[in-house]
C-alpha cells in the first residue's frame, strides 16, 4: 500500500535530496574552490573560517585595482554590503561584472537592504547586475522585492522567513537570480520551484555573521556546480544547518556554538549528512 501521508512525502523529499547534498559537499572538499569575498568588517573572520572548514579557499580581496587580475582567477565571488560606504560600491560592481564576464557565479548578500535609501539603491543596482544567487533574511528579501524601505531592526530580521516566500519568488522572477531566504526554515526559489531546508537551530541567529557566512558557503557550493545553482544553494543551507545542529549538542551558548559550528562543518561525514538532511518541496 502506498503511504501518502504528509510525513511520508516529507521523508521522501529528504531521501531524494540527501545524496545531492552530500555529493555537493564531497565535491567541494575535493576541488577546494577559491572564493573571493568582498564583505563587511564584522563578518570577515567567521566567513573565512567557515569557508576553510568546509574545504574551500577564501580570499578577502576588495580593492578596485586588483579586481581585473584577481576576480577571473576566483571560482566564485561573494558580495556583502554589511558595512557599506560609497567608496566600496565601485569595487563591488566591477567585481560582479568581471565575474559574470569570466563565466563565474557570484552571490549577493543584501545586508540590511531596507535600512536606508543609500543601501537600498546600491543593493538594487547590484541586483541589476544579475547575481547567480541572492541570500537574505526575511526583512532583507521583502525590502529588495518591494524596492522599499520598511520597518527595520538593521541587520536582523523583523519578519519570519515564511512571510518572505512570495516576495522571494517574485524577486527571483524579476531578477533571474536564485533567491534564498534564511530563518527558522530556509526557503530557496528559482521563481517557480520552492523548497524549504529545515536544518539549523535558533541559536545561530545569536552569533553575528552566520547569515553572511552561509552566503559565502552558497558561493562555494555554486562554484563547484554553477549549472545547478538551485540545488547547490539548497545543499549549502542544509549543510550549514546540520553543522549548527551538531554544534548545538556540544555548545553552552552562542560563543561556544560559534566554535563547534566550525568544527562540525569540518568533520561532517556522509552518514551524518544523509541521516540529517531535512528538505521539503513547497511548490
Ligand atoms: N529559528 C531558527 N531556527 C533554525 N535555524 C535558524 C533560525 N534562525 C536562523 N537560522 C539559521 O541561521 C543562519 C543565519 O540565518 P539568519 O539569522 O536568518 O541570517 P541573517 O544573519 O542574515 O539575519 C542560517 O543558516 C539559518 O538557517
Ligand atoms: C552587525 C553587523 N553590522 C553591519 S554588518 C553586521 C554583520 C551582520 O551579519 P549577519 O547578517 O550575518 O548576522
Ligand atoms: Mg544575523
Examine residue 1 and state whether it is found in any structural domain, yes or no.
no
Examine residue 249 and state whether it is found in any structural domain, yes or no.
yes
What does the alpha-carbon distance between residue 244 and residue 261 come to, in Å, rounded to a whole number? 5
- Which ligand does the CA of 152 lie closest to? 1
* Nearest in space to 110 (alpha carbons), one of 207, 181, 195: 181
What does the alpha-carbon distance between residue 261 and residue 249 come to, in Å, rounded to a whole number? 10
Residue nearest to atom 10 of ligand 1 (CA): 183
pTM of this structure? 0.97
Examine residue 106 and state whether it is found in any structural domain, yes or no.
yes
* Extended strands (E) in 118-209: 133-137, 178-182, 186-189, 194-197
- Cell numbers standing for residue 257: 556554538
Does residue 240 have its Cβ closer than 6 Å to ligand 1?
yes
In this structure, the number of other CB atoms found within 10 A of the CB of residue 101 comes to: 10
- Which ligand does the CA of 258 lie closest to? 1
pLDDT attached to residue 6: 72
Examine residue 168 and state whether it is found in any structural domain, yes or no.
yes
Which distant-in-sequence residues (6+ apart) come within 8 Å of 225 by Cβ? 24, 27, 231, 232
Q: Is the confidence at residue 3, as pLDDT, over 90?
A: no
What does the alpha-carbon distance between residue 127 and residue 67 come to, in Å, rounded to a whole number? 19
Tell me what the pLDDT averaged over the chain comes to: 96
- Cell numbers standing for residue 16: 531524494
We report the CATH number of the domain holding residue 162 as: 3.40.1190.20
Asked if ipTM goes beyond 0.95, one says yes
pLDDT attached to residue 1: 54
Examine residue 246 and state whether it is found in any structural domain, yes or no.
yes
pLDDT (average), residues 132-144: 98
Query: Which of 114, 183, 188, 207 has the most ligand 1 atoms within 8 A of CB, as the residue to mutate?
Result: 183
Query: What residues are paired with 196 via a beta bridge?
Result: 187, 280
Examine residue 255 and state whether it is found in any structural domain, yes or no.
yes
- Which ligand does the CA of 214 lie closest to? 1
pLDDT attached to residue 17: 97
Domain range for 34 is: 6-281
* Nearest in space to 40 (alpha carbons), one of 106, 102, 88: 88
| Angle, CA of 277, 253 and 203, to the nearest 5° | 45
User: Could you tell me what percent of the chain has a pLDDT over 90?
Assistant: 93
Residues in the chain: 283
Examine residue 186 and state whether it is found in any structural domain, yes or no.
yes
Does residue 204 have its Cβ closer than 6 Å to ligand 1?
yes
- Cell numbers standing for residue 215: 552566503
The two beta strands, 194-197 and 279-281, are: antiparallel
Ligand 1 centre to CA of 3 (Å) is: 32
Query: What residues are paired with 79 via a beta bridge?
Result: 38, 108
What does the alpha-carbon distance between residue 71 and residue 222 come to, in Å, rounded to a whole number? 16
One-letter-per-residue 3-state SS of 189-214 = ECCCCEEEECCCCHHHHHCCCHHHHH
Q: Which residues line ligand 2 (CB under 6 A)?
A: 40, 42-43, 82-83, 111, 155, 208-212
pLDDT in tens, 155-189: 999 999 999 999 999 999 999 999 999 999 999 99
* Nearest in space to 114 (alpha carbons), one of 68, 56, 171, 153: 153
**Ligand 1 atom with minimal separation from the 181 CA:** 18
Task: Give the dihedral sign, CA 197/198/199/204.
Answer: positive
Q: How many domains does the chain have?
A: 1
Amino acid at each position: 500500500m502506498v503511504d501518502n501521508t504528509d510525513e511520508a512525502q516529507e521523508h521522501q523529499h529528504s531521501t531524494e535530496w540527501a545524496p545531492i547534498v552530500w555529493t555537493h559537499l564531497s565535491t567541494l572538499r575535493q576541488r577546494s574552490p577559491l572564493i573571493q569575498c568582498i564583505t563587511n568588517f564584522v563578518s570577515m573572520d567567521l566567513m573565512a573560517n567557515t569557508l576553510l572548514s568546509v574545504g574551500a579557499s577564501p580570499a578577502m580581496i576588495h580593492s578596485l585595482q586588483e579586481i581585473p587580475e584577481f576576480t577571473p582567477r576566483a571560482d566564485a565571488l561573494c558580495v556583502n554590503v554589511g558595512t557599506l560606504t560609497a567608496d566600496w560600491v565601485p569595487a563591488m560592481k566591477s567585481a560582479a561584472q568581471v565575474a559574470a564576464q569570466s563565466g563565474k557565479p557570484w552571490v549577493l548578500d543584501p545586508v540590511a537592504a531596507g535600512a536606508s535609501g543609500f543601501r537600498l539603491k546600491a543593493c538594487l543596482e547590484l541586483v541589476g547586475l544579475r547575481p547567480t544567487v541572492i541570500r537574505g533574511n526575511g526583512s532583507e528579501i521583502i525590502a529588495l522585492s518591494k524596492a522599499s524601505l520598511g520597518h527595520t531592526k538593521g541587520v536582523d530580521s523583523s519578519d519570519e522567513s515564511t512571510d518572505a516566500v512570495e516576495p522571494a519568488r517574485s524577486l527571483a522572477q524579476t531578477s533571474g537570480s536564485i533567491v534564498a531566504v534564511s530563518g527558522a526554515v530556509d526557503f530557496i526559489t528559482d521563481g517557480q520551484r520552492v523548497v524549504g531546508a529545515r536544518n539549523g537551530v535558533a541559536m545561530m541567529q545569536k552569533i553575528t555573521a552566520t547569515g553572511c557566512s552561509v552566503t559565502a558557503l552558497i558561493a562555494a557550493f555554486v562554484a563547484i556546480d554553477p549549472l545547478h545553482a538551485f540545488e547547490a544553494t539548497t545543499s549549502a543551507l542544509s549543510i550549514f544547518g546540520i553543522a549548527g545542529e551538531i554544534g548545538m549538542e556540544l555548545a553552552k551558548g552562542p560563543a561556544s556554538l560559534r566554535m563547534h559550528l566550525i568544527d562540525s562543518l569540518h568533520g561532517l561525514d556522509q552518514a551524518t549528512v544523509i541521516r540529517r538532511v531535512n528538505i521539503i518541496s513547497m511548490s
